């Protein structure tokens, strides 16, 4: 603008100079005749030269200014084009509207987003591209934008072409002012479909993390807890706010944890089993998998661990292992019971025969023989109990008076327990009877008393009581193991060391024991509770560390009366019948032969089935009964029996065995055997069954 004004001023001055020259020329012509035309012309040329020089300078300045204007115009055009390119090719949709929301400009991304031409938007309200359900909220946005300079992160729903275009969008809007008044509005629309899907996926994953039963924990390398999911809350009992930011809260082997941390840092992962404790002190076994997490620079950042509670699984595995051990115990017991019963049979029979052979025995000797017989019977009963426990058989049941058992146990305690243990007995005089196996129940009470003794190494009080008890419906509801019935309650109480609450639920597990190696098998209480359950009863235990324990045995009472056996004054005798006794145990054949001969029988003996067949073939016309052991070498008893039956279908056979079961009895009856004699047997058992077979003959 300055150069233009200067140019106008120079032209004006040139005109003024020319006018002055013309005026001077006229004036000179009139008044000064002596001045020549040449002088005037020279002066005019000089004035014109000055003006032309000035005009040239100004022309050059004007040209320079024009060049600058052209350059500036090019720069403005380039900036405008750059803005237009940014506007058109931006990844998000841009709109420029007037203050009422009518579209004035729309970029290429907006056209692509709504699948229309850019010109389609012009002079259309932006509101028509908003979902009808969101339009009231969008109108509020327009009103709000009149008051605010900029609005960010408003979400709406874009809708066009009858629903073909329908997606969530994030809106950012700003107001452009001129002279202090709004002149236009600028809008940015961003399709957030993918973002919402990602957020939904994250929410779903977070929900899965929370509903999983596994404990998911994230810790930093200093072992501080950063993340703790709902599964961890449910498994361990601590809430998220209780543990976040704290170091390891589990009580566990620090050496094992250090080894695991070293492994996960070196190799990136570790898995194994850990023993942990909940907030309430409950012990858990968890299978845990640790993974090393890294940051963007691939540096170790944290450790992700996933813990699965396998406590129940481990318990099941332990139960399977125990079942296998019990099966092994049953196999072992089955293998040795026959041999043990073969040992007990001569002892019992000799104890019965000696008083008959030696008439002048004193009372002390007779008591010793009674003790010998009783001990042999108890030994045989113990073998049978182990078999019953291993195989689940019930044993021999009869109506019995528990007070007799308890009195017998009291005598054993007085004779064998340390004198530092005071025994208190309190048995109700009107105690009802129960139906059960006397030998098995005897073992239950003995085991409980032995445990009480071991719990009082420095002495104490041992109390045994028995009362009648009626459990009604209310009491039965309070104890799931009870039923509405009459019971005999036997209580055994000690003042010993007591049982820790942590192990009281495990004391009935087979092979579980707190005693030192060699001082306990862990089978006593398992056998006891198995016997009580098989009798339809139940057992309760209560204990307090340092004060002692109490075991309460509930046995269903019976209204049956006990039929007292009538002692037989004399054993049944034979009439000279010939009996073939077959057994591989020389002691049994010898004592059986002696017993039978004392009672007027003739006897042949054989050591195995082959010898028995030879003797029977020789004396089959005279042999009345064959007494044969089932388990023998060379030829099994069952094979020898079938061979004898082919030789003589009417042969009378009594089978003997120290290993009996319901299955073996059924097989014996199905094989046509007339009697079954269980070892160890007494002389009376032998003579009674023999007499019964001879009577049927």
**DSSP per-residue codes, 681-693:** --HHHHHHHHHHH
pLDDT digit string, tens, across residues 402-451: 888 888 888 888 877 888 999 999 999 888 888 888 877 887 888 889 88
Q: Is the pTM of this model over 0.75?
A: no
Are 103 and 36 found together in one domain?
Answer: no
Query: Which are the contacts of 159, defined by CB distance < 8 A and separation ≥ 6?
Result: 129, 130, 131, 132, 165, 166
Instruction: Give the count of beta carbons closer than 10 Å to the beta carbon of residue 559.
Output: 8
Are 330 and 353 found together in one domain?
Answer: yes
- Shared domain for 150 and 234, answered yes or no, is no
pLDDT (tens digit per residue) in 52-76: 677 777 777 777 777 777 777 777 7
pLDDT interval class at 34 (50, 70, 90): low
Strand order across the beta sheet in which 269-277 lies: 225-228, 215-220, 300-309, 283-294, 269-277
DSSP structural state of residue 428? -
**Residue 62 CB burial class (10 angstroms; 0-12, 13-18, ≥19):** middle
Angle subtended at Cα 379 by Cα 375 and Cα 382, rounded to the nearest 5 degrees:
135
Residues 472 and 354 in one domain: no
Question: Could you tell me which residues are beta bridge partners of residue 451?
Answer: none
- Domain assignment present for 425: yes
Cis peptide bond upstream of 680, omega within 30: yes
Rg (CA), the chain: 57
- Which pLDDT score, from 0 to 100, does residue 491 have? 93
538-544 and 578-582 as β-strands: parallel, antiparallel, unpaired?
Answer: unpaired
Q: What does the pLDDT read at residue 602?
A: 93
Give domain status of residue 202, yes or no. Answer: no
Task: Collect all residues with Cβ–Cβ distance below 8 Å to 253 and sequence separation of at least 6.
Answer: 275
Residues 574 and 677 in one domain: yes
Q: Are 495 and 456 in contact (CB under 8 A)?
A: yes
Domain annotation covers residue 695 = yes
DSSP three-state, residue 228:
strand
* 409 vs 444: CA distance, rounded Å: 11
Contact 210, 195 (CB under 8 A): no
CA distance 348 to 464: 32
Structural element, H or E, at residue 593: helix 586-598
Is residue 185 predicted with pLDDT exceeding 80? Answer: yes
Q: Is 371 inside a domain boundary?
A: no
Q: For the stretch 237-259, what's the b/e string if a residue is b when 16 or more beta carbons lie within 10 angstroms of its beta carbon?
A: ebeeeebeeeeeeeeeeeeeeee
- Alpha-carbon gap, residue 340 to 357, rounded angstroms: 26
SS3 letters for 360-385? CCCHHHHHHHHHHHHHHHHHHHHHHH
Secondary structure (3-state) at 642: helix
* 183 and 144 within one domain: yes
Indicate if the pLDDT at residue 664 is higher than 70: no
Same-domain pairing of 272 and 126: no
Q: Show which of 63, 85, 107 is a domain's final residue.
A: 85
User: Residues with Cβ < 8 Å from 494, sequence gap 6 or more?
Assistant: 452, 453, 455, 456, 460, 461, 462, 463, 548, 549, 550
- 569 pLDDT tier (thresholds 50, 70, 90): very low
* Confidence category of residue 50, pLDDT binned at 50, 70, 90: confident
pLDDT band, very low/low/confident/very high, at 531 (cuts 50, 70, 90): confident
The domain that holds 668 is classified in CATH as: 3.40.50.2300
DSSP 117: -
Q: For residues 284 and 407, state if they share a domain.
A: no
The C-alpha atoms of residue 216 and residue 232 are separated, in whole angstroms, by 6
Q: Which runs of consecutive H residues, i.e. helices, occur in 90-181? A: 108-114, 118-121, 135-147
In the structure, what pLDDT confidence band is assigned to residue 530 with cuts at 50, 70 and 90? confident
Q: Is 205 among the domain residues?
A: no
Please provide residue 569's backbone torsions phi and psi, each rounded to the nearest 5 degrees: -70, -35
- For residue 184, the cross-strand partners are 176
Q: In what order do the strands lie in the sheet with 675-678?
A: 602-606, 578-582, 623-629, 653-657, 675-678
**Where does a domain end: 504, 534, 558?**
558
Residue 514 is part of which domain span? 402-558
Rounded distance between C-alpha atoms, residue 614 and residue 379, angstroms: 36
In this structure, are residues 187 and 94 in contact, taking their beta carbons and an 8 Å threshold?
A: yes
Name the DSSP class of 575: S
pLDDT value of residue 517: 42
Q: 10 Å Cβ neighbour count for 216?
A: 18
User: Number of helices and strands (H, E) in the chain?
Assistant: 20, 22
Nearest to 206 by CA among 239, 226, 237, 229: 229
Q: 3-class SS at 470? A: strand
To the nearest 10°, the Cα dihedral for 491, 492, 498, 504?
A: -60
Q: 304 with 323, same domain?
A: no
Residues 6 or more apart whose Cβ sits within 8 Å of residue 139: 127
Residues 407 and 550 in one domain: yes
Contact indicator for 524, 474 with CB cutoff of 8 Å: no
By DSSP bridging, strand 653-657 and strand 623-629 are parallel
Do residues 151 and 137 make contact, with C-beta atoms less than 8 angstroms apart? no
Domains identified in the chain, total number: 5
Q: Count the helix, strand and coil residues of the chain and give each as a percent rounded to the nearest 5.
A: 50, 25, 25
pLDDT bracket for residue 84 (50, 70, 90): low
pLDDT digits (tens, 9 = 90+) for 228-275: 888 888 888 888 888 776 666 665 566 777 888 888 888 889 998 888
Can you give the pLDDT at residue 564? Answer: 47
Average pLDDT, rounded, for the chain: 79
75 and 124 part of one domain: no
DSSP 485-523: EEEEEEEEEE-SS---TTTGGGTTSTT---SPTTS--S-
Q: List, for residues 341-400, the tens digit of each pLDDT value.
A: 777 777 877 777 777 777 777 777 777 777 777 777 767 766 666 666 555 544 566 788
**Domain presence at residue 491:** yes
Q: For residue 97, give the CATH number of its domain.
A: 3.30.450.20
Q: How would residue 6 be classed by pLDDT, with cut points 50, 70 and 90? A: low
Distance CA 453, CA 456 (A): 5
Burial class (CB in 10 A: 0-12, 13-18, 19+), 344: buried
Segment 281-286 mean pLDDT: 85
CA–CA distance, 347 with 497 (Å, rounded to integer): 41
Q: Are strands 602-606 and 578-582 parallel, antiparallel or unpaired?
A: parallel
- pLDDT tens profile 580-639: 999 888 888 888 888 888 889 999 998 888 888 989 889 988 999 999 888 777 677 778
What was the pLDDT predicted at 568?
44
- Average pLDDT for 138-156: 81
- Checking DSSP bridges between strand 269-277 and strand 433-436, what pairing results, if any? unpaired
Q: Is residue 584 part of a domain?
A: yes
**Residue that finishes a domain, picked among 70, 85, 100:** 85
Residue 385: inside a domain: no
**Do 552 and 412 sit in the same domain of this protein?**
yes
């Amino acid at each position: 603008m300055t150069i233009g004004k200067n140019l106008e001023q120079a032209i004006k001055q040139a005109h003024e100079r020319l006018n002055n020259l013309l005026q001077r020329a006229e004036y000179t012509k009139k008044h000064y005749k002596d001045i020549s035309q040449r002088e005037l012309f020279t002066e005019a040329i000089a004035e014109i030269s000055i003006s032309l020089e000035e005009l040239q300078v100004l022309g050059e300045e004007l040209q320079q200014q024009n060049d600058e204007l052209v350059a500036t115009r090019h720069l403005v055009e380039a900036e405008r084009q750059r803005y237009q390119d940014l506007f058109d090719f931006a990844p998000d949709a841009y709109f420029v509207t007037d203050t009422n929301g009518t579209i004035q400009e729309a970029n290429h991304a907006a056209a692509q987003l709504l699948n229309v031409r850019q010109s389609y938007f012009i002079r259309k309200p932006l509101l028509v591209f908003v979902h009808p359900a969101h339009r009231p909220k969008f109108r509020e946005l327009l009103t709000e934008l009149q008051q605010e300079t900029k609005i960010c992160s408003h979400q709406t729903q874009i809708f066009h072409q009858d629903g073909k275009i329908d997606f969530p969008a994030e809106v950012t809007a700003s107001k452009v002012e001129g002279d202090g008044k709004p002149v236009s509005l600028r809008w940015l629309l961003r399709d957030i479909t993918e973002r919402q899907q990602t957020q939904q996926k994250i929410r779903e994953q977070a929900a899965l993390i929370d509903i999983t039963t596994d404990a998911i924990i994230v810790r930093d390398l200093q072992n501080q807890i950063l993340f703790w999911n709902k599964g961890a809350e449910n498994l361990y009992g601590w809430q998220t706010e209780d543990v976040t930011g704290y170091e390891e809260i589990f009580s566990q082997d620090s050496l094992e944890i250090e080894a695991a941390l070293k492994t996960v840092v070196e190799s990136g992962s570790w898995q194994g089993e850990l023993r942990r404790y909940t907030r309430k002190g409950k012990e858990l076994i968890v299978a845990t998998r640790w993974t090393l997490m890294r940051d963007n620079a691939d540096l170790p950042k944290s450790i992700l661990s996933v813990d699965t509670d396998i406590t129940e699984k481990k318990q099941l595995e332990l139960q399977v292992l125990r079942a296998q051990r019990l099966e092994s115990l049953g196999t072992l017991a089955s293998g040795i019971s026959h041999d043990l019963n073969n040992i007990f049979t001569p002892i019992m029979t000799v104890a019965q025969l000696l008083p008959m052979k030696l008439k002048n025995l004193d009372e002390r000797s007779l008591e010793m023989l009674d003790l010998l017989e009783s001990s042999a019977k108890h030994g045989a009963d113990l073998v049978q109990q182990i078999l019953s426990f291993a195989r689940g058989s019930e044993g021999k049941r009869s109506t019995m008076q528990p007070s007799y058992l308890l009195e017998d146990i009291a005598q054993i305690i007085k004779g064998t327990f340390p004198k530092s243990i005071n025994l208190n007995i309190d048995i109700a005089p009107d105690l009802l009877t129960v139906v059960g196996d006397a030998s098995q129940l005897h073992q239950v009470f003995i085991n409980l008393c032995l445990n009480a003794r071991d719990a009082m190494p420095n002495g104490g009080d041992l109390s045994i009581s028995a009362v009648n008890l009626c459990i009604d419906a209310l009491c039965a509801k309070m104890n799931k193991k009870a039923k509405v019935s009459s019971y005999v309650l036997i209580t055994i109480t000690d003042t010993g060391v007591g049982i820790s609450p942590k192990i009281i639920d495990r004391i009935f597990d087979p092979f579980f024991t707190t005693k030192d190696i060699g001082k306990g098998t862990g089978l006593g209480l398992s056998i006891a509770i198995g016997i009580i359950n098989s009798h339809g009863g139940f057992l309760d235990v209560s204990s307090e560390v340092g004060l002692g324990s109490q075991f309460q045995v509930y046995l269903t009472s019976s209204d049956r009366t006990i039929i007292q056996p009538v002692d037989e004054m004399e054993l049944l005798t034979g009439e000279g019948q010939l009996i073939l006794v077959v057994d591989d145990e020389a002691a049994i054949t010898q004592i059986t032969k002696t017993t039978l001969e004392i009672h007027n029988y003739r006897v042949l003996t054989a050591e195995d089935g082959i010898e028995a067949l030879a003797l029977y073939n020789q004396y089959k016309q005279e042999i009345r009964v064959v007494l044969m052991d089932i388990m023998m070498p060379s030829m099994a008893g069952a094979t020898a029996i079938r061979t004898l039956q082919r030789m003589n279908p009417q042969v009378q056979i009594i089978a003997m065995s120290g290993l009996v079961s319901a299955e073996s009895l059924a097989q014996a009856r199905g094989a046509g055997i007339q009697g079954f004699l269980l070892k160890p047997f007494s002389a009376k058992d032998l003579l009674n069954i023999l007499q019964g077979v001879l009577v049927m003959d």
